[in-house]
Amino acid sequence: MQQHALTINEKRMDHRIAQLAAIGKISETGVCRLALSPEDREAAELVKGWMEEAGMAVRIDAFGNLIGRIEGEDADAPSLMLGSHIDTQPYAGRFDGIIGVLGAIEVVQTFAERGLVPAVPVEAAAFCDEEGCRFNKGLFGSRGLIGRLEAGELERADKNGVTRREALLAFGGDPERFAESQYPPGRVGAFLELHIEQGPVLESLGRPVGIVTGISGPLWWTVDLYGFAGHAGSVPMPMRRDALAGAARIIVGLQELASGEPGAPTVGTVGSLRVFPDSRNIIPEQVQFTVDLRDIDLARRDALEAKLRALIVSAAEANGLTAEIREDTNSEPRYCAETIVETIRGAAKEMSLDVPELMSGPFHDALAMSYYCDYGMIFVRCKEGISHNPKEYSSPEDIALGTELLYRTALKLCGASSSATDSKAAPLSFQAGGGQQDGP
Ligand SMILES: [Zn+2]
């Protein structure tokens, strides 16, 4: 593999990843650090120490976000924010979210060690509860920061009956002071997130890092099909109203629709299926299943949605069923700012790195931030695309390259200059309020 000279400290990143993985450790490589748990709090304390070591002023805000900041030459300018999350799924690995937070700290610490002063403030964030597995709703801290929390979120309880309000208070957050922690428009000019890919694309291309072009929005449905139960041994085939046979047609059809355009990143999944009465000698009367359809191209996704609706109608007709579709979530794709993508390309070129561009199927804190400011993301290759699993793995070399790319991109975006020289790189002019329209 080609060697690239690194500015960032690869060993320090590696060591910190190992130290964090020890908090909430469940196996050799497995971690369980649920949002707002005592383990999450302990991890926040450790990361806070590293932020301070990097020279940042650090606080835990009312939403439970851990945010560090260094001032720029212009203390009032919109900041460059870097970050991700340190909470995990219950059966998780060591890298998801983590490398984005540690990468952010590494960038700031490298600035300090090289005597670089950014033109604008730089913030590093470990957002509270990105995963959403404990209270069944994620991106809590990042949505809180930009004023996009919804009614009733504090009353959501985990499976032990502990509400988010209680957990947040125990963690050190404060629901009474949300308004003080919410950022006014324009406080952050751009957001950059380093994250493992959680998919197999980079590995299949043999590339260590990639540039994200956007986060695809999922369309989530629950579909109910109603037929009529009967004896599996006596009802002749033409007289049947078999709900599962109808569901089978739809599931196969979704596979064909989603893979219809070669090379397109469209994905369609039926991940949950319930059959009633679920007996080997009764014709299935009722089937409920979920649909997850994602694409970075909303027009293409809309076209597929229309075809899928037509397919459900025809499959229901063919099997004598009635069908009901309930829309659970309909998120639009959110695109990375072209100026930031271009900046990452330039930084990669300096490193002689050949970086493919890809979309993100999973969502990240950057999705929330996309409603507030321009954003960009860098992906690091992960083994076999495995994530949300203790087997999750990214090599130290790949993480180092991703962090170096984050560092060089941040350097360009915040216009850091050596305090010893006169010539200063001009920072990109940040656009307050985001570079795209607001969606739902
Ligand atoms: Zn993550």
Gap from CA of 364 to ligand 1 centroid (Å): 6
pLDDT of the residue at 394: 98
Question: Are the C-beta atoms of 334 and 436 separated by less than 8 Å?
Answer: yes
pLDDT of residue 1 exceeding 80, the answer is no
How far, in Å, from the CA of 9 to the mean position of ligand 1? 22
Are residues 325 and 238 part of one domain? yes
* Percent above pLDDT 90 for the chain: 88
- Find, among 402, 394, 32, 382, the residue nearest to 198 by Cα: 382
User: Among 46-55, 62-71, 179-188, 425-434, which stretch is predicted with the lowest mean pLDDT?
Assistant: 425-434
- Is 15 annotated as belonging to a binding site? no
Answer whether residue 68 shows pLDDT above 90.
yes
Among 330, 84, 304, 88, smallest CA distance to 212 is for 84
Rounded Cα–Cα distance for residues 22 and 45 (Å):
14
Please give the model's pTM, rounded to 2 decimal places.
Answer: 0.86
Domain boundary among 330, 364, 383: 330
* Contacts of 108 by beta carbon, 8 Å cutoff, 6+ apart: 51, 54, 55, 56, 68, 70, 82, 122, 124
Same domain as 222, residue 184: no
Does residue 318 sit in the same domain as residue 397?
Answer: no
H or E segment to which residue 408 belongs: helix 396-414
Q: How far apart are CA 379 and CA 199, in angstroms?
A: 10
197 C-alpha to center of ligand 1: Å?
A: 9
Q: Is 231 annotated as a binding residue?
A: no
Quote the tokens at residue 26: 């469940």
Residues 234-284 have pLDDT tens digits of 999 999 999 999 999 999 999 999 999 998 889 999 998 999 999 999 999
Q: Indicate whether 439 belongs to any domain.
A: no
364 marked as binding residue? no
Contact of 369 with 428, CB cutoff 8 Å: no
Query: Is residue 2 in some structural domain?
Result: no
Ligand 1 midpoint to CA 105 (Å):
17
Q: Measured in angstroms, how far is the CA atom of residue 140 from the centroid of ligand 1?
A: 13
CATH of the domain at 242: 3.30.70.360
In a domain, 429, yes or no: no
Cα(34) to centroid of ligand 1, in Å?
A: 13
Q: What is the dihedral of CA 85, 108, 403, 394, to 10 degrees?
A: -40
Instruction: Report the separation in Å between the CA atom of 93 and the middle of ligand 1, taken as the mean of its atom positions.
Output: 11
128 with 87: CB under 8 angstroms? Answer: yes
Q: Which residues pair with 292 in a beta bridge?
A: 220, 269
Judge if 31 and 142 occupy the same domain: yes
Domain span at residue 133?
A: 10-215+333-418
Which residues fall inside 5 Å of ion ligand 1, going by CB? 96-97
Segment 15-44, tens digit of pLDDT: 999 999 999 999 999 999 999 999 999 999
H or E stretch including 188?
A: strand 188-196
Which of these, 305, 325, 342, lies nearest to 190 by C-alpha position?
342
Domain count, the chain: 2
CA–CA distance, 367 with 294 (Å, rounded to integer): 14
Using the mean position of ligand 1's atoms as its centre, give its distance from the Cα of residue 115 in Å.
Answer: 31
Residues 113 and 144 in one domain: yes
Contact 343, 426 (CB under 8 A): no
Lowest mean pLDDT among 112-121, 129-138, 296-305: 129-138
Q: How far, in Å, from the CA of 392 to the mean position of ligand 1?
A: 12
- The span from the CA of 165 to the CA of 162, in Å, is 8
Establish if 5 belongs to a structural domain: no
**End of a domain among 305, 330, 355?**
330
Question: How far is ligand 1, taken at its centre, from the CA of residue 86, in Å?
Answer: 8
35 Cα: distance to centroid of ligand 1 (angstroms): 12
Tens of pLDDT along 270-299? 998 999 999 999 999 999 999 999 998 999
Whether residue 4 lies inside any domain: the answer is no
Confidence of residue 82 (pLDDT cuts 50, 70, 90): very high
Same domain membership, residue 67 and residue 205 = yes
DSSP E strands in 29-158: the ranges are: 57-60, 66-70, 79-85, 116-117, 122-127
- What are the backbone angles phi and psi of residue 142, rounded to the nearest 5°? -70, -40
User: Residue 427 domain-assigned?
Assistant: no
Q: How far is the CA of 82 from the centre of ligand 1 (A)?
A: 14
What pLDDT sits at residue 4? 62
CA of 323 to the centre of ligand 1 (A): 36
> Ligand 1 centroid to 308 CA: how many Å?
30
97 CA to middle of ligand 1, Å? 4
Could you report how far apart the first and last alpha carbons of the chain are, in Å? 44
- Indicate whether 97 and 63 sit together in one domain: yes
The CATH number for 198's domain is: 3.40.630.10
Q: How many residues does the chain have?
A: 440
- Per DSSP bridges, beta strands 209-215 and 217-226 are unpaired
Q: Is 96 annotated as a binding residue?
A: yes
In a domain, 392, yes or no: yes
CA distances from 80 to 49, 114, 265, 278, 385 (A): 21, 19, 30, 55, 29
Tell how far the Cα of 217 is from the centroid of ligand 1, in angstroms. 16
End of a domain among 297, 313, 330? Answer: 330
In this prediction, residue 26 carries a pLDDT of 96
The mean pLDDT value of the chain amounts to: 93
Q: Is 166 annotated as a binding residue?
A: no
pLDDT above 90 for 435: no
Looking at residue 177, the DSSP 8-state letter turns out to be G
Element (H, E) at 217: strand 217-226
**Torsions phi, psi of 3, nearest 5?**
-95, 135
Could you tell me if 76 and 201 lie in one domain? yes
Beta-sheet strands, E only, within 99-187: 116-117, 122-127
Q: Are residues 324 and 345 in the same domain?
A: no
- Co-location of 308 and 413 in the same domain: no
Query: In terms of domains, do 223 and 276 share one?
Result: yes
Q: Report the C-alpha gap between 358 and 108 in whole angstroms.
A: 27
Say whether both 106 and 202 belong to one domain.
yes
pLDDT tens per residue, range 415-424: 877 654 444 4
Residue 330, pLDDT score:
87
Contacts with 332 (C-beta within 8 Å, 6 or more apart), sequence order? 217, 298, 439, 440
Residue 364 maps to a domain: yes
